[in-house]
Amino acid sequence: MTTLLNIQRPPVFCPGCSHERVVRTLDDALQRLGLNGEQIVIVTDIGCAGLFDTFFNTHAFHGLHGRALTYATGLKMADPELTVITIMGDGGLGIGGAHVLSSCRRNLDINLLILNNFNYGMTGGQCSVTTPVEAWTSSGFLNQLEPPLDICRIGKAAGAPWVGRLMATDRELSSRIQEAVVYRGFSMIDIWGMCPGRFGKRNKISLKQIEQEMSLLPEAEGRVSANERLEFGGHYRSLAAQLQCADPVGRIDCKFSPPVSSRCDILLLGAAGQRINTAGEILCLSAMSAGMHVTQKSDYPITVLRGHSVSEVVLSRSPVGYTGIIKPNIVIALSAEGVARRKKVFSLLDEDSLVIMADNLEIPKNNARTIEIDFKALGVPSSEWALVSLSMLAADGFPITEEMLQAGLASRFADR
Amino acid sequence: MALSFIDGNEAIARAAVRAGCRFFSGYPITPATTIYQQMLKLLPPLKGVCLQGEDEIASIGFCLGASMAGLKAMTATSGPGISLYSEQISFALSGEIPLVIVDVQRLGPSTGSATKGADGDIQFLRWGSSGGLPVVVLAPVDVRDCYILTMHAFNLAEQYRCPVFIASNKEIGMTRESIEIDSLDTPDLLTRKYCPEDQPYLPFQVPPGTMIPPFLPIGGSRLVRQTSSTHDPEGYITADTDIIGQVIERLDKKLVTNVDTFTFFEFDSDPDAETLLLVYGVTARAAKTAVEQMRKGGKAISLLILKTLYPVPEDFIKQCINEVKRVVVVEMNLGQYVREIERLAESQHVSHFGKMDGELISPELIQQVIAL
């Protein structure tokens, strides 16, 4: 066995700091597992525990406070063979709580060691999420207000399949770390220790007393059988392997000559369920079959099954510049909600404009040429009104022809 | 000829995959969500990884890990997500981690209007990370640009080992348009330069005469150290102010001194023009229409559409504005990029028009502004 410790950079912790003990124990565990430094990445957080990666001859990734698990996740998903060990203190546990919970739930094969010494040592001994209420910290009385959290209980509740809690001095620590690292899934160990520089200075407490406190908590001894399940990375890859490659971007051949000499702006005003967006798309595809340039924008509320649905379509023989529609050439008005959404445009319409509308609909006064359609008499359901309106345009031959509409429909519904 | 009908977000996703992106993670946010949805369709069947983070901080953090393992990575969000990315962006910058970040801008401030466009994040992208070092910001005008600039963004991220932003806009990302993909002038693909096997490797050691440290992946056969802290060539935290100063200067210079090689633009110059209209992003579409109409009316005018916003291509902009007496900057915010033009202008008069109400700036409005 050869040590993975970085001889050039021995630990620099305060005398009596439990972190140093854990550095040596982690080295022992990794050696016993027979791992080389190249097979391991140590991902560290901010704080005294954040120094860990520098003491090892392994790959190292030292990042932002609380975010170590996010890098660990990216590394492990990108390189499933890598042994990923994440080190954070009780500070990182607090600020990165969302990532801890998510890692427990995700069950990616990462090992998390929490170096829990009940305070923020590096910044001067402020209280953390694990500080006992009776402790003295440099956060004054604030730690009396919030009880410490039991991360093992939380981890189990969040779905972690391997949860352990040990003293930094525990003789079992090396073998427990080995078990956790070998475990195929998310594993975490809550390692309790002493911060002699800060916590130990203000609180007359020994490691023995800390161990006694620990004994009052429910045990956490490794596998949590109720949470054992497929490991995320392997599961991801097996599900992904069943997926078909996505279709290439659809293409429509340009085979007709466009019946439009310049730009034509079309506004479709309807409601959810009237397939306004689809009609706008078919209009665009139809125009594209004649090599025209098109743009389409949609406007609908977050309640996609209710409310207005507006589609703005621009067709042009030359590239479309401005994609907004100020004065439309054609308005297709099919519901009160859609009309209300764009009521200002009607006053701009003139005798060159065309309005195609449902015959029962009220629209603002305007000077456009108007075609009213009695959809009910035609026996057409509301979901088809927009498509029928397009066929009216095509029958007129402007701005699309019937053969263009056929090509547009064939392209849109190619897979049906 | 065959045309396709896609929006800016799909163009970015398709181009990313074509550029070799094999890792994406994001968090749903309008109007960027469809980039994530596209990547979810595209990547997993290619043995790529697409994840939904528990929040934006996690999403970009996943990307940083994956990029350091050697994959080309991308994330996408909108203004509120960029805020949450901020600390990780400065990490990508200082740790020289290649990453493409898409900001499909929506109307701010704050949660603002999720479905309305704006270019309100332009200075935020440049300055929204601690330390204030330069980043690359590319601004597409339309779906075509989304495709081409995304491929350039990956090349730049790889070549310079840095985060590269694509400053899109709801009005580009969620507008579908016709595009002839086969005719696009796409760049050859670049990948980060690896340290040759016969050469010693220190993670942040820069070979003489170059400004970028060669890359090796975490997980490879030689040990790699990455750190968000000020570091020496070995990747260890350092307090040596000489080393710190040199690294910071290099991080600045590697981009600023090379911007001429990645200045993307369209310059439509009229030798008789006294006025230059300067725009970027979706506003360029209205500007083109406005310029066309003004020229029909007999007015001489030049148009500069900038697509590399940061680092500011100073020499190039100076050249363009030196041709005229007056520069009019029009943008979908209350005056952000105009600040760069004001500091570059010498004798030229610089005027500005901007608005933020969720509506596009129209060609008519631009003509009125220029007529003033």
Q: Are residues A160 and A69 in the same domain?
A: yes
Q: Output the pLDDT for position B136.
A: 98
Q: Does the residue A95 lie in any domain?
A: yes
Question: Which has the closest alpha carbon to B168: B190, B149, B196, B155?
Answer: B149
Chain B closest CA to A214's CA: distance in Å?
31
- Structural domain ending residue among the three candidates A241, A274, A289: A241
In the predicted model, is pLDDT for residue A405 greater than 70? yes
- Whether residue B177 and residue A320 make contact (CB cut-off 8 A), yes or no, is yes
Q: Are residues A203 and A301 in the same domain?
A: no
Q: Does the residue A143 lie in any domain?
A: yes
Q: Which of A249, A287, A323 sits opposite B4 (nearest CB)?
A: A249
CATH number for position B79? 3.40.50.970
Chain A closest CA to B202's CA: distance in Å?
12
pLDDT tens for residues A38-80?
A: 999 999 999 999 999 999 999 999 999 999 999 999 999 999 9
Name the residue range of residue B317's domain: 266-371
Q: Are residues A163 and A297 in the same domain?
A: no
Pairing of strands B99-105, B163-169: parallel
CATH number for position A360? 3.40.920.10
Q: Are residues B230 and B130 in the same domain?
A: yes
Buried b (16+ CB within 10 A) or exposed e, A259-269: bbeebbbbbbb
Q: Are residues A330 and A398 in the same domain?
A: yes
Does residue B107 sit in helix, strand or coil? Answer: strand
Q: Where are the alpha helices (DSSP H) in A63-182?
A: 68-78, 90-95, 97-106, 151-157, 173-182
pLDDT tens for residues B251-287?
A: 999 999 999 999 999 999 999 999 999 999 999 999 9
Question: Is residue A37 within 8 angstroms of chain B, CB to CB?
Answer: yes
Chain A closest CA to B79's CA: distance in Å?
19
Q: Are residues A275 and A395 in the same domain?
A: yes
Q: Are A113 and A85 in contact (CB under 8 A)?
A: yes
Q: Which of B175, B227, B364 sits opposite A62 (nearest CB)?
A: B227
Could you list the pLDDT tens digit for every one of the 372 residues in chain B?
A: 899 999 999 999 999 999 999 999 999 999 999 999 999 999 999 999 999 999 999 999 999 999 999 999 999 999 999 999 999 999 999 999 999 999 999 999 999 999 999 999 999 999 999 999 999 999 999 999 999 999 999 999 999 999 999 999 999 999 999 999 999 999 999 999 999 999 999 999 999 999 999 999 999 999 999 999 999 999 999 999 999 999 999 999 999 999 999 999 999 999 999 999 999 999 999 999 999 999 999 999 999 999 999 999 999 999 999 999 999 999 999 999 999 999 999 999 999 999 999 999 999 999 999 998
- Whether residue B237 and residue A54 make contact (CB cut-off 8 A), yes or no, is yes
Domain count, chain B: 2
Q: Output the pLDDT for position A304.
A: 83
Q: Does the residue A12 lie in any domain?
A: no
- Structural domain ending residue among the three candidates B227, B262, B297: B262
Q: Are residues A285 and A232 in the same domain?
A: no
- Structural domain ending residue among the three candidates B201, B233, B262: B262
Q: Output the pLDDT for position A401.
A: 97
Question: Is residue A244 within 8 angstroms of chain B, CB to CB?
Answer: yes
Q: Are residues B84 and B182 in the same domain?
A: yes
A-chain residues within 8 Å CB-CB of B73?
A: 74
A-chain residues within 8 Å CB-CB of B58?
A: 67, 70, 73, 98-99, 102
Q: Output the pLDDT for position A416.
A: 66
- The Cα A42–Cα A73 span in angstroms is 12
Q: Which of residues 71-100 of A touch B (CB under 8 A)?
A: 71-79, 81-82, 98-99
B-chain residues within 8 Å CB-CB of A240?
A: 44-45, 47
Does residue A86 sit in helix, strand or coil? Answer: strand
Q: Output the pLDDT for position B235.
A: 97
B-chain residues within 8 Å CB-CB of A282?
A: none
B-chain residues within 8 Å CB-CB of A268?
A: none
pLDDT tens for residues A152-191?
A: 999 999 999 999 999 999 999 999 999 999 999 999 999 9
Q: Which of residues 8-27 of A touch B (CB under 8 A)?
A: 9
Q: Are B106 and B113 in contact (CB under 8 A)?
A: yes
Q: Does the residue A85 lie in any domain?
A: yes
Question: Is residue A345 within 8 angstroms of chain B, CB to CB?
Answer: no
User: Nearest chain B Cα to A105, which residue?
Assistant: B54
Please provide the average confidence, as pLDDT, over all residues in chain B: 97
One-letter identity of residue A385: W
Instruction: Using pLDDT thresholds of 50, 70 and 90, give the confidence band for residue A414.
Output: confident
A-chain residues within 8 Å CB-CB of B178?
A: 284, 287-288, 292-295
- Whether residue A252 and residue B51 make contact (CB cut-off 8 A), yes or no, is no
Q: Output the pLDDT for position B77.
A: 98
Question: Which has the closest alpha carbon to B235: A84, A59, A69, A11?
Answer: A59
Q: Output the pLDDT for position B156.
A: 98
pLDDT tens for residues B202-212?
A: 999 999 999 99
Assigned token pair, A125: 């001994």
A-chain residues within 8 Å CB-CB of B65?
A: 43, 61, 70-78
- Whether residue A288 and residue B217 make contact (CB cut-off 8 A), yes or no, is no
Name the residue range of residue A111's domain: 18-241
Question: Which has the closest alpha carbon to B217: A74, A366, A113, A102?
Answer: A74
B-chain residues within 8 Å CB-CB of A292?
A: 178
- Structural domain ending residue among the three candidates B262, B294, B321: B262
Q: Output the pLDDT for position A255.
A: 96
Q: Output the pLDDT for position A303.
A: 83
Q: Are residues B231 and B279 in the same domain?
A: no
Question: Is residue A38 within 8 angstroms of chain B, CB to CB?
Answer: yes
Strands (E), A232-366: 252-253, 264-271, 293-299, 308-316, 330-333, 354-358
Contacts of the segment B318-325: beta carbons below 8 A, 24+ positions apart: B318/B344, B320/B267, B320/B269, B320/B276, B320/B278, B321/B276, B321/B278, B321/B345, B321/B348, B322/B346, B322/B348, B323/B269, B323/B271, B323/B273, B323/B276, B324/B273, B324/B274, B324/B275, B324/B276, B324/B348, B325/B274, B325/B275, B325/B349
CA A337 to chain centre: 33
- The Cα A121–Cα B206 span in angstroms is 35
Domain count, chain A: 2
Question: Is residue A409 within 8 angstroms of chain B, CB to CB?
Answer: no
- Whether residue A78 and residue B69 make contact (CB cut-off 8 A), yes or no, is yes
- Whether residue A70 and residue B64 make contact (CB cut-off 8 A), yes or no, is yes
Q: Output the pLDDT for position A394.
A: 97
Chain A closest CA to B191's CA: distance in Å?
17
CATH number for position A75? 3.40.50.970
Pairing of strands B265-268, B302-306: antiparallel
Q: Are residues A294 and A375 in the same domain?
A: yes
Question: Is residue A67 within 8 angstroms of chain B, CB to CB?
Answer: yes
Interface A–B counts its CB contacts (< 8 A) at 218
Q: Are residues B67 and B214 in the same domain?
A: yes
Q: Output the pLDDT for position A71.
A: 98
Q: Which of B3, B176, B226 sits opposite A61 (nearest CB)?
A: B226
Q: Which of A73, A254, A293 sits opposite B65 (nearest CB)?
A: A73
Pairing of strands A293-299, A308-316: antiparallel
Q: Are residues A69 and A113 in the same domain?
A: yes
pLDDT tens for residues B151-180?
A: 999 999 999 999 999 999 999 999 999 999
CATH number for position B286? 3.40.50.920
- Whether residue A53 and residue B181 make contact (CB cut-off 8 A), yes or no, is no
Instruction: Using pLDDT thresholds of 50, 70 and 90, give the confidence band for residue A1.
Output: confident
Asked if the ipTM is above 0.90, the reply is: yes
Q: Are residues A333 and A381 in the same domain?
A: yes
Residue A234 is classified by DSSP as: H
Q: Are residues B101 and B122 in the same domain?
A: yes
Question: Which has the closest alpha carbon to A375: A384, A367, A366?
Answer: A384
A-chain residues within 8 Å CB-CB of B285?
A: 320-323
pLDDT tens for residues A287-299?
A: 999 999 999 999 9
Q: Are residues B115 and B175 in the same domain?
A: yes
Chain B closest CA to A292's CA: distance in Å?
8
Q: Are residues A290 and A210 in the same domain?
A: no
